[in-house]
Amino acid sequence: MSIGEVERVGMPRRRDAIERHGRLIAAAQREFAVRGVNASLEGIARDAGVAIGTLYRHFPTRLDLLLAAFEPRLQEFLDGAKTALEIDDPWEGLVSYLENLFRVQAGDRGFNDFLSRRFPGNADTERIHDQMCRQIESVLARAQEAGQARPDIAVADIVNLIWFNGRVMDATSTSAPGAWRRQLYLMLDAYRAERAHPIPEPPMTDEQLYDAMVHLGKAD
């Protein structure tokens, strides 16, 4: 077979594979958004018009598919986080960071699940979550050092807010999709330094937070 014949045979196959790959990602984005990270892989393959074996050839594990499906939202979140960290006013930076976080989270149950949980053993997801925690530490520390945010807030408190807002979003996504913003701003008011009162329970340690996020991933 000549080189020209190889190209004529090979190119359509490569195009077909690229098209199937794209259909799988689009189907996964739809299914994860509605059903969460545990959406049926068989359902995703069916929605994409391929066999389940084809899905596994493109994405050997569920996490491989999750990362591919969530890449646009992750990039949107990271871009917004970078902008928030560059805002001169520390309090406005904190507000911008959290509003961006919850805006990207809203309307996508799968991305909400992804942000809320840890997937130990996967280097890519661990890197993403570690980066998010470092960003929270940075934006929070700036507001605390400026005397704008109460000094006893910890990263775990922000992650708790992610969990809390996730439930609000689940309950209100069809009836009042903007309700999460009201709850966020109510909580932000409580985070202001001048609102601070003693709290009878300390924040979770980093180890407790990690274990809780892993537990959420196993709860289903």
pLDDT in tens, 54-99: 999 999 999 999 999 999 999 988 889 999 999 999 999 999 999 9
Residue-level pLDDT at 11: 54
Based on the fold, state whether residues 45 and 101 are members of the same structural domain: no
**Domain total of the chain:** 2
In which domain, by residue range, is 51 found? 1-60
Q: Let me know if residue 65 belongs to a domain.
A: no
* Mean pLDDT value of segment 164-185: 86
**Can you read off the two tokens belonging to residue 145?**
């050092």
**DSSP letter (8 states) at residue 145:** H
Is there a single domain that holds both residue 87 and residue 39? Answer: no
- Judge if 15 and 82 occupy the same domain: no
Q: DSSP secondary-structure letter at 106?
A: T
Q: State the CATH number of the domain containing residue 110.
A: 1.10.357
What CATH number does residue 55 fall under?
A: 1.10.10.60
Helix-helix angle 155-172:109-116, to 10 degrees: 160
Q: How confident is the model at residue 8 (pLDDT cuts 50, 70, 90)?
A: very low
Cα 155 to Cα 134: distance, rounded to the nearest angstrom: 9
- The one-character DSSP state at 192 is B
| 93 plus 154 within the same structural domain | yes
Q: What pLDDT does 219 receive?
A: 56
Contact 41, 57 (CB under 8 A): no
